[in-house]
Amino acid sequence: MHTPILAQRGHAAMLFAMVLPVLFGIFVLGTDGARALQYKARMMDASEAAVLAIAAHAASNSGEQGSPENRQIAADFFAAYFPSLNIQTPGDLVSLTVQRENCEQIAACVASDGPRFFQYQISASLTFPSWFPGNDAIVGFGENIAVSSHSSARKYQSNAIDVMLAADFSGSMASKWSGGSKKKYQDLIDIIDSVAEQLEAFNALNIPGKTNTLGIAPYSHYVRREAGSERCNNKKRTISLGLGHVEHLRFQQNKRVDYRETIIDMQTQPYTQDDICAVNNSTVGYFYSIPLTRYITTGNGSSESFTTRIGRFWPKGGTASYLGLIESYKLLLSGQNSKKLLIILSDGVDTGNYTPIGATGPRWTRTWSKTYAGIGNKLVTGYNLCEIIKSDLSADGNSADIYMIGFDYQQGKTNTALDACVGSDNIFYAQNKTEILNRILALVAEEIGHLK
């Protein structure tokens, strides 16, 4: 039977109308799907770049979602990779988590005989508006498309370092603080013990030519050293508890500080020839300098370990941070590693109403320029004490850095000389014991590590 052509009119249009939603759906899936794949790839690139930056920064990390500092670093990377999404803070992402694990928290690190490492992980997700959300008739991705990523990076400890701690053991360190359950100096000793364990764990790997050393230069208004068999002619408290007092300042005949001679003497007078018989007319605590040692948590024959010795320290007296700097410098000069790290640990304030002038121990004064605070300020800002220390320690292909970690410390309001000494980028403000520990461990890892 023959069907007239006119009777078939409209079949093609009906077929096209039936196929059109399918074709449009394929178009939608193709375009928005391609965008989703592109965003996924960019998301992975952004998270990998961010986690490497965070690992290189090696800052502490706290909280379930990570520290605000680390989260902001990550958010900045996502903002750079997705400029159209207007990402400014971590809250602009659907989710963002930064985690940091120490070696003891990672089974692969604990079981490995290789270098120790920290590991950072980033998990993030974001949404972006789809071009074709779809409806009941046409398939689509909905109003928004979600993509996520997960990346990790490790900071390896691969080089040995000489670490010297210029630790404040003045009377203010005997007070309690909101950042810990103990007195400041007790928390400080606990922190140093934890750092010592990390350095010892690296040394236990027995990597040839790579041995960390650790030393300490505690200070109040004097630095102190073990006296041994030495005796002093002056009987005014020059040797007490088997410890002698060291005054690194040099004085003119009119009893004023000779700043230039103080710097020259610091650079030329050997550590072993320093006089330990400075007069002290006030009481001081029990602490003394410990030169760089590889016997950090375990002793060597009849010699006690570093951690055993500092466990008996207790603070008292005024504060002269410049003495801790000079003592640390002299001790670091003996270090054999090419990387050197000097960390100042203090609650900040140098004594501003007592003077050492005349080498007769602390005496009260109204003249600020003669006080420990005034003298320290002039040594740092007028005679470039810290620049000289860093330059000398960095000679012969070595590298040296100076950092400060403060207990209850406010930049520019507590010790402007120390602020100027280390520079604003090298000052860390710690609000609690854990944060201080993580800061120090991060500094050590930064100096002796590499990324993977």
Q: pLDDT tens digit string along 82-116?
A: 988 888 999 988 899 999 887 878 888 878 776 67
User: The domain spanning residue 387 has which CATH number?
Assistant: 3.40.50.410
Please indicate, yes or no, if residue 331 is contained in any of the structural domains. yes
Identify the weakest region by mean pLDDT among 212-216, 297-301, 330-334, 394-398: 297-301
Same domain, 124 and 272: no
Cα distance between residue 33 and residue 37, in whole Å = 6
pTM for the model: 0.69
Same domain, 167 and 153: no
Please indicate, yes or no, if residue 3 is contained in any of the structural domains. no
Q: pLDDT tens digit string along 330-379?
A: 999 999 898 899 999 988 789 999 998 865 678 889 999 999 999 999 99
Same domain, 235 and 271: yes
Kindly provide the b/e burial profile for residues 218-231, where b requires at least 16 CB atoms within 10 angstroms of the residue's own CB: bbbbbbbbebeeee
Cα distance between residue 242 and residue 288, in whole Å = 10
Residue 222 — pLDDT band, cuts 50, 70, 90? very high
Among 157, 181, 215, which residue terminates a domain? 157
Same domain, 190 and 288: yes
Please indicate, yes or no, if residue 222 is contained in any of the structural domains. yes
Range of the domain at 398: 162-451
Same domain, 149 and 174: no
Type of residue found at 341: L
Cα distance between residue 19 and residue 393, in whole Å = 78
Same domain, 206 and 235: yes
Name the domain count of the chain: 2
pLDDT score recorded for residue 156: 76
Among 99, 122, 157, which residue terminates a domain? 157
Crossing angle of helices 11-57 and 68-81, in 10° steps, is 140
Please indicate, yes or no, if residue 2 is contained in any of the structural domains. no
Please indicate, yes or no, if residue 170 is contained in any of the structural domains. yes
Is the pLDDT at 235 greater than 70? The verdict is no
The CA-atom distances, in angstroms, between 97 and each of 75, 122, 362, 437 are 11, 6, 52, 22
pLDDT score recorded for residue 27: 57
**Span 186-191, average pLDDT:** 91
Is the pLDDT at 4 greater than 80? The verdict is no
Please indicate, yes or no, if residue 231 is contained in any of the structural domains. yes
Same domain, 318 and 242: yes
Same domain, 68 and 182: no
pLDDT score recorded for residue 29: 60
Answer for the pair 319, 168: CB distance below 8 angstroms, yes or no.
Answer: yes
